Structures are given as structure tokens and as C-alpha cells.
Amino acid sequence: MRGYGAKRYNVAVMGATGAVGNRFLRILEERAFPVNNIRLLASERSEGKKLKFKGKFYPVEILNHDSFDGIDIVLSSAGASRSLEFLPSAVKAGAVCVDNSSAFRMNEEVPLVVPEVNPEAINRHKGIIANPNCSTIQMVVALWPIHKVAKIKRIVVTTFQSVSGAGQKKVTELREQSKKFLAGKKSASKEFPHRIAFNLIPQIDMFLENRYTKEEMKMVNETRKIMGDPYIRINATCVRVPVFYAHSESVNIETERRITADEIRKILRKAPGIRVVDEPEKKSYPMPADAEGKDDVLVGRIREDESIENGMSMWVVSDNLRKGAALNAIQIAERLCN
């Protein structure tokens, strides 16, 4: 939604030197967001760095409570603790903040928004709008058009999440471990609890008392909040896989009324933010390699679940740093500009 008016906005990017911060700058430029001035904010470790935006290099400033004077919109990819500490100061200075961390997602006073699903929630903000978890975003984009037609009662999802979702150091570890593994050498695991190269780790974030991980419960709780239905039954298993970019999900749903695979394909082809890639006879289906660098959520392998009445299975893939983080936040900011 890019029908910008004449107004231009002063934008601050928190966590500007990180992977998501980098995508913020790239996507703001790609989508011709109406930036008047841009302010790049990061921790003391980034002091002295310069980042390029629209052909010009801007110095990275140290984030502090006075960083938001004159700022209209804050895009934050800082961690939860930094968001909790500094975003109230941004709101006090008059900015509207779109936060990519988990800090405010389940706060009842803070909208949790995916523009293709619940854009009306943006209007309820009190200075902060939360960006959901990357895996949650791509799943609800795919499921919301179906939910509106047939009402989803239950979701069972298994995620296959790339290492970039955990930060640049994890990307480096996968690259280095892969080189050593292929050379027949051993390598220590510093960033992950186990070797990630040529392996799968069925743990993302810490385990909770119910033996689910924090990541898995994020998908449960965030999906219910975004879709506005606290009664949807959701079971999630989140797995880290040796892929650099783009998350994949195996999603199984149960709907209140029967809906066919052909109906779902037709619905999703008309839905915003989705590209249906579903011609298995031609070996055409969504893959992380095809989603990397793309904005759309790719959906394929759509088929009826023959083990349950009104069941359906599908495969959902998306670039976790774009739609799963930076793009979704910028789409929220675009709504603020209209």
C-alpha cells in the first residue's frame, strides 16, 4: 500500500547494523518510502560505522534516550531489552514505533499486526505497534484467507527455520562448520547447543515448563491474537535447519466446514502477499532457495488430509528477514502514512 501523500517522514532505525536493520534500509529504498531524514541507531560497538542509504553514507549514532527528537517513525530491530528500555522515550518524544522484538507482542495495549490480516488494529496504537515472530507472520498470511471462508478450528505446524533467524553469528557458524565438516575436520558449536551443519536441532529458544519452547508458544499465542480468535487450537514444533535464509513450514489445519484443495488454491491466488507454487507433477513447490530475497509468502503442496474430516495440509515458505521481519514492519509504517 504505497499511495504516499506529499508528506515526508523523519525515520529512525534501531539496530541499524544488524541483519534486519540492513533489510530495513534496503526495503525503505526499494519501496520509495517517503523518508525526509534518516537516523541510524545502534549500540556502542557500532560507533564510527557508516551505512549507505539512497547513495549516501550516514553515520551510526549510539542509541540513547535523547535519540528520538524530531523523529516521526521508529523501526526497531533491537532486542527485547533494548526496546523495553528505549521505545517509551521514543513515544514520549512523539514518534510512532514499530518494534520487531518480542517485548510488546502480548501486551494488551499494543497491536500485533500483519497488514494482510488485521490492518485495522494499527489504529488502536498508543505509540507502539508490535511486529510478530517471523514464523507466525508467514503462517497467518497463508491461513487468514482460508479462515475467513471456512473458519480454522485447529492448526498443527512444524517449522524448518533458517539460521539467519537467530542472527548473523549463527550464519557464520553454519558456514564455518560446513567447511570443516566437508574437509573431515571437527568444529566446536559456540552459537548453537549442537552442531548445525548437516544436522537439525529441534529446539529454538528456551524450554518452558510445559516442555514446549518459547518459540513454539509464541506461534500459539501470537496467532490467536492476530487472528482475533482465542479458541483456535494450535500445536507447534519449531526446528532449526542448516539453511541460511528463508523459513519453511509444514502446516496442517482442520476447518469447521469442508473446503477442497482446489478451492484453497483459488482463494490463495487472489490473496495479497501470497504466491501459489503448486504443480507437483512438474516438481514445482515452494523452497527456501526460491523464497530468499522475495516479498511474497510461497504456498504449495496443498492437499486434503485423508486422515481427518475437513483437514488440509500445505507447505509454506518465506524469507524470514523480509516478510518475516523488515518488510512486515515497513508495511505497517506505510499504513501509518496513509
* Residue of 97, 125, 147, 247 marked active site: 247
In this predicted structure, the answer to whether residue 1 has a pLDDT above a threshold of 80 is no
Q: What is the pLDDT of residues 205-239, one digit of tens each?
A: 999 999 999 999 999 999 999 999 999 999 999 99
List the beta bridge partners of residue 74: 12, 97
Confidence at residue 116, expressed as pLDDT on a 0 to 100 scale: 98
The mean of the pLDDT values for the chain is: 96
> Can 9-132+325-336 and 136-320 be said to share one CATH topology?
no
Name which CATH class applies to 136-320.
Answer: alpha beta
Question: Is 247 an annotated catalytic residue?
Answer: yes
Question: What is the average per-residue pLDDT within 159-186?
Answer: 96
Domain boundaries defined on the chain: 9-132+325-336, 136-320
* Residue of 125, 134, 147, 238 marked active site: 134
Cβ contact 317:298 at 8 Å:
yes
Confidence at residue 3, expressed as pLDDT on a 0 to 100 scale: 58
**Residue 87 Cα distances to 33, 277, 280, angstroms:** 22, 39, 47
How many angstroms separate the CA atoms of 208 and 215, rounded? Answer: 10
Confidence at residue 338, expressed as pLDDT on a 0 to 100 scale: 82
Query: Considering the domain 9-132+325-336 in this protein, what is its CATH number?
Result: 3.40.50.720
Largest CA distance in the chain: 60
Q: Which among 99, 145, 152, 161 is positioned nearest to 126, based on CA atoms?
A: 99
Question: Is 238 an annotated catalytic residue?
Answer: no
Torsion of CA 194, 220, 226, 91, to 10 degrees: -60
Say which range, 1-15, 33-47, 167-181, 187-201, has the weakest mean pLDDT: 1-15
**Residue 299 Cα distances to 151, 235, 268, 284, 307, angstroms:** 19, 20, 8, 11, 21
